[in-house]
């Protein structure tokens, strides 16, 4: 069994101009530190020597990991749930605008506890979800009775089927990066859209918090994208980014978590979240998290 993932070259562009740039701490579960490296050619960052797919699960085993537990404990998680209602409406509108469809076939990869699937099903869409965590899948079925399956079902889904495929803060967790993107391209229907949301390390809030930026979330986040590196990855797979969108709430949520890690306070987090959004006001690709709308070339 392999214990760690070793990258001899950049996972995105395959370039060899890779160097360590910082050390980040797992504040959520183990308190271990991990090195983050950066590719000089495409700007991609990745967690060096991350745990292998067989061993990563222990780093998710925490009641504080909200996407799996749905916990409302603590101020940050309470705010997360409060904002989620508005976020779900925003995601529904984005899916409809990007796909130019009011209904269709939607696959959500990394469905967590199923809230987005439920939102789209209520809007009339036929939905299927994939989620690696068994407890999260069980909670999704219990709460919403949605169709949600283990993640490896991706490689058994029919080709050219889905009008929209979504990955909301999921791609950064996927060990089989190239295999996933290739398979996603195969199961997209003609003129379909892939929608990917990931944290953006070129954002102002990352600049403010540095190695304590909560969206590094090592080692669960294997990859750390910039807009340039996302375009490079998609182009290598015959896909292209046709639009980008801001995720305004993320700057505040990430700032609150980051302040928690360094013993800061709520007021400072709100101020830094505002500063980050102000920076992204005239350049949406400086937002704390960026949504990429993608289609086949």
**Count of H helices and E strands in the chain?**
9, 13
The Cα–Cα gap between 76 and 79 comes to 5
**Model confidence over 232-280: pLDDT tens digits?**
999 999 999 999 999 999 999 999 999 999 999 999 999 999 999 999 9
* pLDDT of the residue at 149: 97
What domains sit in the chain, N to C, each tagged with a CATH number?
A: 4-296 (3.40.50.150)
Question: Which pLDDT band, with edges at 50, 70 and 90, does 4 fall under?
Answer: confident
Mean pLDDT of 10-27: 97
Could you write out the DSSP letters of every residue in 95-144? HHHHHT-SS-EEEEES-TTSHHHHHHHHTT-EEEEE-S-HHHHHHHHHHH
* pLDDT of the residue at 188: 98
Question: Which pLDDT band, with edges at 50, 70 and 90, does 86 fall under?
Answer: confident
The Cα–Cα gap between 224 and 132 comes to 20
Inter-axis angle of helices 248-262 and 75-99, to 10 degrees?
150
Residue 72: pLDDT over 60 = no
* pLDDT of the residue at 66: 46
* pLDDT of the residue at 3: 77
Residue 73: pLDDT over 90 = no
Q: What percent of the chain has pLDDT over 90?
A: 87
Question: Which pLDDT band, with edges at 50, 70 and 90, does 68 fall under?
Answer: very low
Could you write out the DSSP letters of every residue in 175-196? S-HHHHHHHHHHHEEEEEEEEE
More confident residue, 81 or 162: 162
């Amino acid at each position: 069994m392999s214990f760690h993932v070793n990258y001899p070259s950049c996972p995105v562009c395959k370039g060899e101009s890779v160097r360590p740039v910082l050390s980040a701490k797992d504040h959520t579960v183990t308190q271990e530190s991990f090195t983050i490296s950066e590719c000089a050619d495409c700007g991609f960052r990745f967690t060096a020597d991350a745990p292998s797919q067989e061993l990563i699960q222990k780093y998710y085993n925490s009641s504080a990991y909200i996407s799996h537990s749905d916990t409302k404990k603590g101020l940050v998680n309470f705010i997360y749930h409060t904002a989620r209602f508005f976020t779900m409406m925003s995601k529904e509108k984005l899916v409809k605008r990007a796909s130019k469809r009011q209904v269709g076939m939607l696959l959500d990869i990394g469905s967590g506890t199923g809230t987005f699937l439920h939102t789209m099903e209520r809007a009339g869409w036929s939905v299927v979800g994939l989620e690696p965590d068994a407890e999260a899948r069980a909670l999704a079925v219990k709460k919403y009775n949605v169709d949600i399956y283990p993640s490896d079902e991706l490689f058994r889904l029919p080709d050219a089927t889905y009008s929209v495929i979504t990955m909301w803060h999921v791609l950064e967790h996927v060990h089989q990066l190239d295999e996933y993107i290739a398979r996603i391209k195969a199961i997209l229907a003609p003129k379909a859209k892939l929608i990917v949301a990931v944290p953006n390390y070129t954002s102002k809030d990352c600049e403010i918090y540095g190695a304590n930026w909560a969206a590094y979330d090592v080692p669960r986040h294997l990859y750390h994208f910039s807009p340039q590196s996302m375009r490079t990855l998609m182009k290598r797979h015959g896909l292209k980014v046709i639009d980008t969108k801001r995720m305004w709430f993320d700057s505040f949520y990430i700032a609150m978590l980051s302040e928690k890690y360094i013993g800061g306070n709520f007021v400072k987090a709100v101020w830094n979240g505002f500063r980050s959004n102000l920076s992204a006001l005239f350049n949406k690709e400086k937002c704390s998290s960026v949504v990429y709308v993608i289609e086949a070339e």
